[in-house]
Amino acid sequence: MNIKRLVIIVMFFCLLAIPAKAEIILDLFPKISTKHNEIKLNDICKIFATDDKEQSLLSGINICSVPDVGHTKHITKEFILRRLKQNRIEVSNIKFSGAEEVFLNKSHQIVSKNILTEELKDYLLEKAKELNELVLPMGDLKIIFSPPLDKLSPSMGLYINCLVDGKKEQTIWTNIKTLLEKRGIVARNRIKRHQIIKDEDLEMKKFKLTNSDYNSFYENKEQLLGKMSKVNIRKGFAIKSNQLEAIPVVKKGEKIYIVVENEKLRIVSIGETKEDGFLNEPIRVKNISSQKEVSGILKDKETVLIQY
């Protein structure tokens, strides 16, 4: 027997001595619902492998992302084998059992119309209408309303933000009517037309708001004092901005002191008003000596302050 033939015989018996690679069984589950965003191989099947290291390696292989709530993904055997090959796994010894394919979806919870309206009742004085049922992922549910309570107006759009585990999942918009009450200034006694408003004419009171007066009522007496009423205002009624007008402290063409000052300098000159002036409001004046026109703040009926 020559050497070449002897080598071939030895190699043949060596190949017979090498054990065949152990078979791996993937027993597929028919349906999977999960709250996670990604799934691994051991999430969709039971893995039967004789080698512990090989089983651990297979278990951690990422298969795919989980679809959004309300959608289903079909995972086929061919897809699983392709994912294994992409992760450099030998697939010739892998066999399947169990389901023909895996139906994957994200686990969810139902937020009923009753829950939404009950939440609104805790937040508003009148609940929103025509809210529909929501389908959301499983997890810690929190409902946040926007705008917050201190920003509400009597009739407005409201956003209902549904968060699961801190992540915003859905937002609903609805139109609502609220029965807001706020403290504002009302007439303590009847105020006549052209009457100058004094402190004794006013009092604070809680009253219901409408869209028309939501941004027009007063909350600070200082905003009204010294102004003149343009109309008759009934006792107990809220005083609105369009019912009053400011009284000029100075008239156009009157003489006035122009004071120019900063931290180190103060210069006083005589000027003439170019328009009616209101306390603590900007006013245009002309310097009589220089004939230059400047703007300043009317501090009282005799003084315009210009700061540099």
* pLDDT given at position 244: 87
Distance of CA 45 to CAs 48, 76, 80, 118, 281, Å? 10, 12, 11, 42, 77
Q: Which two tokens stand for residue 283?
A: 């006013």
CA-based torsion, 176, 181, 186, 189: positive or negative: positive
Q: What is the CATH number of the domain that holds 264?
A: 2.30.30.760
Instruction: Specify whether 100 is located in the same domain as 165.
Output: no
Q: What is the CATH number of the domain that holds 199?
A: 3.90.1210.10
Residue 1 lies in a domain: no
Q: What is the CATH number of the domain that holds 33?
A: 2.60.480.10
131-157 residue pLDDT tens: 677 777 888 888 887 876 555 555 667
Tally of domains within the chain: 4
Strand 255-261, strand 244-245: pairing? unpaired
pLDDT band at 45 (very low <50, low <70, confident <90, very high): very high
Instruction: Specify whether 38 is located in the same domain as 85.
Output: yes
Average pLDDT over residues 281-305: 91
Average pLDDT of the chain is: 81
Point out the domain boundary residue: 76, 105, 134: 105
Average pLDDT over residues 113-138: 66
Helices (H), 62-212: 77-86, 113-123
Instruction: Specify whether 12 is located in the same domain as 96.
Output: yes
* pLDDT given at position 285: 94
Q: Which residue has the higher pLDDT, 261 or 98?
A: 98
Q: Which residue has the higher pLDDT, 280 or 186?
A: 186
pLDDT band at 125 (very low <50, low <70, confident <90, very high): very low
Instruction: Specify whether 225 is located in the same domain as 165.
Output: no
Instruction: Specify whether 77 is located in the same domain as 118.
Output: no
- Is it the case that residue 38 has pLDDT exceeding 50? yes
Give the whole-angstrom CA distance, residue 83 versus residue 86: 5
* pLDDT given at position 62: 92
Give the range with max mean pLDDT: 32-41, 113-122, 258-267. 32-41
* pLDDT given at position 17: 47
Determine the structural domain holding residue 70 and report its residue range: 8-105
Distance of CA 196 to CAs 122, 244, 247, 275, Å? 43, 9, 9, 22
Give the residue among 47, 54, 51, 2 at the shortest CA–CA distance from 26.
Answer: 47
Buried b (16+ CB within 10 A) or exposed e, 127-152: bbeebeebebbebebebebeeeeeeb
pLDDT band at 207 (very low <50, low <70, confident <90, very high): low
